[in-house]
Amino acid sequence: MTSFSINYIEGLIYQMNSDYRKLLSVIKSMNATIQVPCVRTYIDLYYRKNGVNQKEMIEYYFKVKKKALRD
């Protein structure tokens, strides 16, 4: 398993396509647990449209952001 950090993932935003940048922006903007199901749906739609490239990194970022949320 590759080791990722939030700074590393956010630093890749400008190197990736616009869909990937939008996805990471949506994940980054989560600030309440009520938003988790919607963001999860957005991630799943991203995979359906763009494939599972970078899935491990996306899932890690989502998991870390989800843990940091307030109720």
In tens, the pLDDT along 16-53 reads: 678 888 998 999 999 999 999 999 999 999 999 999 98
How many Å separate Cα 41 from the centre of its chain?
11
| DSSP annotation of 33 | G
Residue 17: give the domain boundaries.
6-67
Residue 1 lies in a domain: no
Number of domain units in the chain:
1
Q: What is the pTM of this model?
A: 0.76
Average pLDDT over residues 49-59: 90
Question: Cα separation of 40 and 45, whole Å?
Answer: 9
For residue 60, what pLDDT band results from cuts at 50, 70 and 90? very high
Spatial contact of 62 and 43, defined as CB atoms under 8 Å apart: yes
Which pLDDT belongs to residue 19?
A: 87
Which pLDDT belongs to residue 53?
A: 84
Strand, helix or coil for residue 28? helix
Residue 47 lies in a domain: yes
Which pLDDT belongs to residue 71?
A: 59
